[in-house]
Amino acid sequence: MVELRENESKTLLALERTGGHSTIDQIANASGLAHSAVMRAALSLASQNLLTIQEKKKGTKIVLNKEGKKYAEEGLPERKAVKVLQKMGGKAEIDAVFKAASLAKDAKIIALAWLSRKGWAIIEKGTQQLKLLKEPVEGVDEKLLSLLNEKGMITVENLSQDLKDAVQILRGRKIIEVHVEIERELELTTAGWELIKKGIQASVKVSQLTPELLVTGKWREKTFRPYNIKASVAHTWPGKKHPYLRFLDELKMKLVALGFKEMTGPNVELSLFNCDILFMPQDHPAREVHDMYFIKEPETGILDQYRNFLEKVKKTHETGWKTGSTGWGYTFSMLEAARLMLRSQTTATSARKLICEDLEIPGKYFAVARCFRPDVIDKTHLTEFNQVEGIILGEDLTFINLLGVLEKFAMDVSGADKVKYRPDYFPFTEPSVELVAYKEGYGWMEFGGSGIFRPELTLPLGVKVPVLAWGLGVDRLFMMKTGIDDIRYLFSQNLDWLRRAELV
């Protein structure tokens, strides 16, 4: 006769009565034990190789969260906006549309992004007017939203394929909660069956010496459970640096070791550095509200300290100045150049470095900085992200030198197996390429743009040598290196992932 703890004995005998294979719920009903008691006993029996525990996904349930319920009742931001736009004749000022639609400040960017994404409306180039493109038919996301509002909770596996696709859309918009139901099954092992045949006796043993047992003297009558020093213990999670922060620090150390010096710049930037010095015309579509975050108060900054080269930048935009360019052929606005925004690209830090008195030629500089752009949040996009910017200045530098630097960067930092380059266009570089890297088991990923700064950028700042430049998505470098397929994990509060993430 073999002795087991009382709950372990009951669990094992109940499992025998159900044929040696059953779910936790069925064992709880058969033994009269609580679900948690059966689970604890099963874990102990599994550690003794008397049974196995198998987990099976039972189903995925989805339900609207607080924001989702609001959208289900009032309509999605883009739906509210497009309804108003239709009433206004299909074309109206953006602010007027949003005001009439009663959209909150944080919902305006969401509405603009999804109007564009769904192809319902666009912002007309060079204006602040919203124009209707096509009749806004109900999409699968809205159908699923209505269905959830009607039924409350839905099993994903029972949905049609188009509604399953809509689950990912609503999940990306963070307006639904997803609950995965797991069913655990127990099965007797050969050792478990043999133990049952030998006979089992339930043993009531004390695991803790209490004051009551000491005072009454009843401890003399009790049998104490032996302490198993080989038993597994709960995981301990010592403090450590966030995996992504550690990666950024190591990236900086690698660049410093390669002879690069760090350059910095403010998060709240002047349009002068974020756009104008970079030869981006002031009527460029990328300078609209749907691509940049502008500061409401104060709306503009001070340009006085930059007057020594600002006039050259102005003339370059208007006529090309002495750069050999014809410029953009418009009247440059100092007020627009003074406009304040959240930095949308790290190239602004390069522009600031090129005007510094301590600029070294030849020289190599880098910046790892946070950037901000309105976007629809999903597994590959965030509204704020990190970029690694690099510039190399010197005589006789060529495009081949740039490609060599990019290849080494992708191979060493992200662990890519191979790279390729795609021709691209940026207002401030010529020639320009986009870096794309491949890693076995992960696939291809776009990292960012690069090129040689145009004379329209460098000459007004007094720089007369070639400047190789690149701006890469460092978030994506980390994702490839660690095999992460969802960029939101980089800023996740998921403690389980943070604890288990390897330090790379």
What CATH number does the domain located at 2-55+181-221 have?
1.10.10.10
pLDDT band at 202 (very low <50, low <70, confident <90, very high): low
155-197 pLDDT tens trace: 888 888 888 888 888 888 888 888 887 888 888 888 878 887 8
pLDDT of amino acid 242? 83
Secondary structure letter of residue 157 according to DSSP: G
pLDDT of amino acid 343? 93
pLDDT band at 460 (very low <50, low <70, confident <90, very high): very high
Of 45-49, 220-224, 351-355, 387-391, which gets the smallest average pLDDT?
220-224
pLDDT of amino acid 493? 75
Give all strands of the β-sheet with 153-155 in edge-to-edge order. Answer: 21-23, 176-188, 51-64, 153-155
- Integer Cα distance of 479 and 447 in angstroms: 11
pLDDT band at 366 (very low <50, low <70, confident <90, very high): very high
Number of other CB atoms surrounding residue 195 within 10 Å: 18
- Integer Cα distance of 60 and 161 in angstroms: 14
3-state secondary structure of 56: strand
- Integer Cα distance of 208 and 148 in angstroms: 49
89-139 pLDDT tens trace: 888 888 888 888 888 777 777 888 888 888 888 887 767 788 888 888 888
* Whether pLDDT at 504 is above 80: no
Cα dihedral 344, 391, 316, 288 in deg (nearest 10): -10
CATH architecture observed for domain 64-178: Orthogonal Bundle (1.10)
* Whether pLDDT at 448 is above 60: yes
Q: Which of 68-72, 111-115, 242-246, 348-352 has the highest mean pLDDT?
A: 348-352
Domain spans, the chain: 2-55+181-221, 64-178, 244-500
Task: List b or e across 57-71, with b for residues whose CB sees 16 or more CB atoms inside 10 angstroms.
Answer: eeebebebeeebeeb
The token pair that represents 121 in the structure block: 């409306």
Contact of 310 with 304, CB cutoff 8 Å = no
The residue-averaged pLDDT of 448-465 equals: 93
The letter for the amino acid at 164 is: K
**Residue of 87, 98, 155, 149 whose CA lies nearest to 123:** 98
* Whether pLDDT at 352 is above 80: yes
- Integer Cα distance of 352 and 461 in angstroms: 10
The residue-averaged pLDDT of 230-247 equals: 75
What CATH number does the domain located at 244-500 have?
3.30.930.10
Contact of 175 with 65, CB cutoff 8 Å = yes
User: Please, how many CA atoms are within 13 Å of residue 269, restricted to the half-sphere of its CB?
Assistant: 28
Q: Do strands 2-5 and 200-203 pair parallel, antiparallel, or not at all (unpaired)? A: parallel
Angle subtended by helix axes 35-47 and 24-31, to nearest 10: 110
Judge if 64-178 and 244-500 fold alike in CATH terms: no
